[in-house]
Structure formats: C-alpha cells, structure tokens
Amino acid sequence: MALMKQLDLSLYLVTDQDLSMGRSHEEIAEQAVKGGVSIVQLREKNISSLEFYNLAHSLKKCLDQYNIPLIVNDRLDIALAVDAAGLHIGQSDIPYKVARTLLGPDKIIGLSVESIEEARLANELDVDYIGISPVFSTQTKSDIKVPFKLEGVREIASFTKHKTVAIGGINLSNAADIIKAGADGLAVVSAIVSADSPQQAAIELKTIIDKEKQ
C-alpha cells in the first residue's frame, strides 16, 4: 500500500468532545499537531450524522494544512464523504474486507484488537495497523475488555505483522514503558485533549517516544 511506508503512528490523537474543556476539535488538533502529533482520529459516539460530517470536514481542512492524516472512527460513510485519509474499525464494526473494497487500496485502515486471539486473527488481514486496546484501564472507553498491560503489548509485538498503536490509560508516566514493550505508537485521548496546553502535552509525550525509539 502506497501510504503504509509514510504512516507515522508515533503520537496518535483521538478526539473526545466531552473531555475537551469546551475547546473545539480544530483548536486542540492544531495545537497538538504543532507539538508533534502525527495522526488524528475523529471519534464521536453521540452526535448526528450531519454533525459528524461537518466536524470531519472542518477537521480535515485544518489538518490538511499540516499534511496530517485524518482517520474517522467507525463511520465508513463519513470517511468516504470527506475523503479522509482512513478509517478505524472495531471488532463489531463493518468487516475489514468490505471497508477495503469501498475505500480502495490507498486509504489507511486500522483495526482495534481487544485480546491476544484477535491480534493473531488480524495477521490474516491486510490492515495498515492494529490498535491494542486497552493497555491500561481508562475512563474514556466504557465498553472495554481486560487491560493488556505491558506484558500483552510485548506479546502482540512479538508476533504481529502489523504496525501497532497502544491505547488506554496512557500518560507521561507510562509512555516510555509502552514503547519499550514494542508498540510503534501511542494513542492518547485525555492526556492531550484535557491538558491545559495540548501543544505542551504533545511535546512532552513526543519527546519520550522519540527518545525510546532512538
């Protein structure tokens, strides 16, 4: 896939309007990108399709200025409608093969895995990355399974053929350990969107990631 070689998952921002302290997605994303965020996922569970479309359109316009990919969570129709860089799907969303057929070969598709078995099964799919979810327990995902912890990240990194993004309870205190365990990138929600300065929060996380990847 053409995009795969350029896919920088190192610091992956996932949006959450409820945690944004009243600030817009665009404001937070722009600050975070200036701090080192390399990819942004728009995730909204409780808004109308029209609101989701308008948000995605506006956020993509903002990110395009910085050449940062926009990934849409769950909603294949929205990803197509705004020509997003890609789609992130969970185990209960539209099947990967259907998503790939509709999106085409050049779009990024990520898949959440919530168990070692799901991570093994993902090796049979040509996804661009897998999201290891959750690494630690977190308030931002209420329907989550048993946390993988560092041992789970290490185990998946040992056999997966895919790039990996760890998500769930990630912050400055555990970021280095997760990268050391083998994750290619860290996906964060509250650590950036709830920070007083999303830019500074991103800088601090990216500094840790870059140090561990040297």
Could you read off the pLDDT of 148-193 as tens digits, one per residue? 999 999 999 999 999 999 999 999 999 999 999 999 999 999 999 9
Q: What does the pLDDT read at residue 7?
A: 94
**pLDDT (tens digit, 9 = 90+) per residue, 92-135?**
999 999 999 999 999 999 999 999 999 999 999 999 999 999 99
User: Does 140 have pLDDT greater than 90?
Assistant: no
The chain-wide mean pLDDT, for the chain, equals 94
Answer whether residue 157 is part of any domain. yes
pLDDT over 70 at 41, yes or no: yes
Domains contained in the chain, number: 1
pLDDT at residue 106 in the model: 95
Q: How many angstroms separate the Cα of 100 from the Cα of each of 52, 55, 80, 90, 105?
A: 21, 23, 12, 14, 7
Buried b (16+ CB within 10 A) or exposed e, 20-49: beeeebeebbbbbbebbbbbbbbbbeeeee
Mean pLDDT of 197-207: 98
- Residue 104 included in any domain: yes
Residue 15 CB partners (closer than 8 Å, separation 6+): 25, 28, 29, 40, 41, 42, 43, 44, 59, 189, 193
CA distance 16 to 172: 19
pLDDT of residue 139: 67
Residue 1 lies in a domain: no
In a domain, residue 135? The reply is yes
Whichever domain contains 177, its CATH number is 3.20.20.70
- Residue 172 resides in a domain: yes
d(CA 1, CA 201): 32
Indicate the pLDDT class of residue 2, thresholds 50, 70 and 90: very low
Domain with 73, as residue range(s), is 7-213
Q: Is residue 2 part of a domain?
A: no
Q: Is 97 within the bounds of a domain?
A: yes
The bridge status of strand 108-113 relative to strand 86-89 is: parallel
pLDDT of residue 1: 37
